[in-house]
Structure 1
């Protein structure tokens, strides 16, 4: 099909709501201090309807504690730019292999029968160790949540997109990694680094598999982001390694992820993209 060498002037004008009419599922969006919440707000501000996945028991067991889901939902709703868009939320323990497919089905139903954007942001915190202390239980726990569930989510999403009309626009998958392939890696979190590395490695394969359904697949490494898990001297030491003198904030990677969800990023697929603010490792 012949293409014009340059877009028309009309095509160059950016839609203030580039995701109007689109729908998104964001996993791990249960805390206002987290990246998932920031991503959901950005997508909503771009016009999308959003389904927020949460697993409160995980956060309740962590030092930062759980957030009230009602407050998370209210915060995302405040960012809604399209009056016809909506925000829905639901729980799910993604360590259960039956949950990823069921979660995609629930999101499809709640968002009007079509899911455009899948952001697999969830991860297991803790339950990890260095090479000397890591054990089979740690490896299995991280495999189940950080890698297996993501692949099962993508599988269910791909089956849904395959049932839509050929060439249906807006298909996007964004996964999350953690810079485990950069500099000295993550020697103190072997199980986590292993599974996040698996997602980075499978990005290209998934992008090829989903290309026939007009879906792009990319993975984002957000770098060190202040999600309330570090304080004191350690916090300041990490901040000093950024040229800007501050940590990344949840909205920093959220801006990139929201852009990847738009039509402007239609030509970007199969990539692992670092969003680290020049962090010196």
Structure 2
């Protein structure tokens, strides 16, 4: 598995799942093309990470001892050309592309009675269209014949209602369906496609009060951590994960939505 190349989207904060995946991949010999949109996080109530990209790149360089192993390019996935450009950038930088981990998302409040058409469209564009175009570009660029991996992310919307995030829930339902469609389509080409639902994860967006109040909903007594999801992604992208495709995997630590 040495010298495999991965494109990871959604990288902006060191506390995020995408950053945790990057650390695991770097430690096991991957060459990385990272992308994200730090400005999106900076505009959220939880705020951005001022040292996010430079800090993460420094970590990965220390892990690998090679500053050229990891590249970063900011990208706005509302652009219809961005997915193909990211795949092209990865192939140009590293000579090949074996894995795409699509950990980006767009999520804002969209409750019934407050819906805005542009905001609904933005969820569908970033969460569904960008993933479909990423899959298409990756499939066109993949040449190895086996060992290809595409990992998408959901949030367990089918397991319970999200009344204040209707557009987000609808878009992630689309991602789960794409997983099943693409799993069948890309397996003959040597690419598996799976979707991870990591459940509520402490990536810095929840307050200390939220973390304490929600702890009883997890049988293990704690929220998910970014590395919990990253370990599963690492396995799915390994040789051992090659017989799993078209699956939506709920890896939530037994999270009980109904308390």
TM over 0.5: yes
* Contact persistence 1:28–1:123 (CA under 8 A): yes
Q: Structure 2: how far apart are the matches of 1:78 and 1:134?
A: 46
Q: Structure 1: how far apart are the matches of 2:60 and 2:15?
A: 12
Q: Structure 1: how far apart are the matches of 2:25 and 2:31?
A: 8
Q: Structure 1: how far apart are the matches of 2:23 and 2:158?
A: 29
* Contact persistence 1:21–1:85 (CA under 8 A): no
What does 1:75-86 align with in structure 2 at a 5 Å threshold?
A: 75-80=59-64, 86=69
Which residue of the partner structure matches residue 222 of structure 1?
A: 198
What's the offset of the Cα at 1:84?
10
Alignment of 1:202 onto 2:185: no
Q: Structure 1: how far apart are the matches of 2:91 and 2:45?
A: 33
Which secondary structure does the structure 2 equivalent of 1:119 belong to? strand
Q: Structure 1: how far apart are the matches of 2:58 and 2:168?
A: 31
Which residue of the partner structure matches residue 171 of structure 1?
A: 148
* Contact persistence 2:61–2:67 (CA under 8 A): no
Unaligned segments of structure 1, at least 5 residues: 1-18
Which secondary structure does the structure 2 equivalent of 1:43 belong to? helix
Structure with max Cα Rg: 1
Q: Structure 2: how far apart are the matches of 1:83 and 1:53?
A: 19
2:30 to 48, 51, 57: 48
Q: Which range moved further: 142-151 or 71-80?
A: 71-80
* Contact persistence 2:224–2:253 (CA under 8 A): yes
Which residue of the partner structure matches residue 146 of structure 1?
A: 127
What does 1:227-246 align with in structure 2 at a 5 Å threshold?
A: 227-246=203-222
* Contact persistence 1:37–1:76 (CA under 8 A): no
What does 1:1-281 align with in structure 2 at a 5 Å threshold?
A: 19-67=1-49, 68=51, 69-80=53-64, 86-111=69-94, 113-126=95-108, 128-161=109-142, 164=143, 167=145, 169-182=146-159, 184-281=160-257
Q: Structure 1: how far apart are the matches of 2:77 and 2:255?
A: 31
Shift of the 135–84 alpha-carbon distance from structure 1 to 2, 3 Å rule, reads: closer
TM-score by length of 1: 0.87
C-alpha deviations, 1:57-110, integer Å up to 9, x for none? 112212232333211211233333x86981111110011111111011001111
What's the offset of the Cα at 1:137?
1.5
Unaligned segments of structure 2, at least 5 residues: none
What's the offset of the Cα at 1:43?
1.1
> What's the C-alpha RMSD, in Å, of the aligned pairs?
1.6
- Runs of 4+ aligned residues of structure 1 deviating over 4 Å after TM superposition are 82-85
TM-score by length of 2: 0.94
* Contact persistence 1:121–1:176 (CA under 8 A): yes
* Contact persistence 1:42–1:79 (CA under 8 A): no
* Contact persistence 2:46–2:206 (CA under 8 A): no
Length, aligned pairs only: 255
Which secondary structure does the structure 2 equivalent of 1:76 belong to? helix
Q: Structure 1: how far apart are the matches of 2:82 and 2:217?
A: 39
Q: Structure 1: how far apart are the matches of 2:127 and 2:22?
A: 20
Which residue of the partner structure matches residue 7 of structure 1?
A: none
